[in-house]
Amino acid sequence: MKSDVKCNMVLYFHKTPDDKVFYIGIGDKYRPYSKSGRTKWWKNIVNKHNYVVEIVLENLSKEKAVELECYYIKQFGRADLGLGNLVNMTDGGEGNHNRRHSKETKEKISKNSAKFWLGKKMPNEMREKLSKSHIGIQAGENHPLYGKHHSEETKNKIGESNRGKKHSDKTIKKISKSKLGQPKSEEHKINLSKSLLGKKKTDVHRKNLSESHKGKRLSINHKNSISKALKGRECSSQKGDKISLKAKERSAANGNKTSKYKGVTWSKDRNKWKASFSFKRKFYFVGYFDDDEIAYKKCEDLKIKLHEQQPQES
């Protein structure tokens, strides 16, 4: 019974005339003597010193030849990795495992790739496949920058390279959608706060912020965060006096009056005091009165009645 495994592979060394091994390869009986398909580095050595072929082993199966090639490359060491004198660009076997491209090759690949995709859009199926193939590969501890931080010099370089660049409206919307609903960590909030400290917003920025907040209600968390931020802060007496004077001037110019009682406001249309309040998330209008104290008492009386009507908890 004949074996299905073909044993026609050879393992060979390429040496310089002074007997130094500079390349290890495998192939059929003709491959050791062929110059085609060699790297530029290999050709430079051959052009300078010429070369000698040494057939180390013959009649090898493909699996055995690959195994031996990997073994001998590891033993002699690759020059591009600083481990030896070999000009091999891979660790042996099939494919480009652990191969390092030269700068020239990288530039060629980049240019060819850019030309191919110029003016084209990647199909959605291809995008999904790429996205799935990258999941978990460079995340967490697998990421090359995990646990590392950029130096100040690198940060400055990144900042200078991005200075003056503006995202398109489409990109801004995509970034906004991707970050929507993502909670910021306490450390992130502190860093954002520090980065904005002492910086003044432009008129355009203020206008955009105002328009973006129109019709929106503050969440309970937002209110609490504002309350915490303002807790313990006091306006200077000078600033407080300025605010008070401006409020009085504005009120006098509009013909308005202010009351010391909560829930009582001056109605300019009726020229009377308006009494109203909220209870259990419902709004109650009490009426218009000539005196703000009477208006306040009416509000309190109605509040007492509403409390009495509430069912008592057992």
60: domain CATH number is 3.40.1440
Q: What is the mean pLDDT of the segment spanning 155-169?
A: 86
Checking if the pLDDT of 72 tops 80, the result is: yes
Residue 266 within any structural domain of the chain? yes
Cβ neighbour number for residue 84 with a 10 Å cutoff: 17
The more confident residue out of 155 and 241 is 155
Final residue before a domain boundary, out of 70, 93, 116: 93
Give me 55's structure tokens: 């057939």
pLDDT value of position 21: 93
Number of domains in the chain: 2
Q: Comparing C-alpha atoms, which of 242, 238, 265, 241 is closest to residue 254?
A: 265
Q: What is the mean pLDDT of the segment spanning 159-176?
A: 86
pLDDT in tens, 8-37: 889 999 999 999 999 999 988 889 998 888
**Percent of the chain residues past pLDDT 70, beyond the cut:** 83
Residue 70 within any structural domain of the chain? yes
Of 84-93, 124-133, 161-170, 282-291, where does mean pLDDT reach its minimum? 124-133
Q: What is the mean pLDDT of the segment spanning 276-296?
A: 89
Checking if the pLDDT of 233 tops 70, the result is: no
Range of the domain at 272: 255-309
Give me 224's structure tokens: 């609490």
Contact 265, 274 (CB under 8 A): yes
pTM of the model: 0.34
Query: pLDDT band at residue 250, thresholds of 50, 70 and 90?
Result: low
The more confident residue out of 242 and 85 is 85
Strands (E), the chain: 9-15, 21-27, 52-60, 264-267, 272-279, 282-289
Residue 282 within any structural domain of the chain? yes
pLDDT value of position 221: 73
Residue 51 within any structural domain of the chain? yes
Query: pLDDT band at residue 314, thresholds of 50, 70 and 90?
Result: very low
Residue 28 within any structural domain of the chain? yes
Cβ neighbour number for residue 166 with a 10 Å cutoff: 7
DSSP 78: B
Structure-derived torsion over alpha carbons of residues 298, 302, 303, 305, reported in degrees to the nearest 10: 140
DSSP 313: P
pLDDT value of position 20: 92
Q: What is the mean pLDDT of the segment spanning 104-114?
A: 75
118: which strand partners? none
Residue 104 within any structural domain of the chain? no
Of 51-60, 108-117, 272-281, where does mean pLDDT reach its minimum? 108-117
Residue 121 within any structural domain of the chain? no
Of 72-81, 134-143, 153-162, where does mean pLDDT reach its minimum? 134-143
Final residue before a domain boundary, out of 93, 117, 147: 93
* H-run or E-run covering 288: strand 282-289
Final residue before a domain boundary, out of 69, 93, 117: 93
Residue 286 within any structural domain of the chain? yes
pLDDT value of position 289: 92
Q: What is the mean pLDDT of the chain?
A: 81
pLDDT value of position 97: 44
pLDDT value of position 47: 92
Q: What is the mean pLDDT of the segment spanning 170-198?
A: 83
pLDDT value of position 1: 40
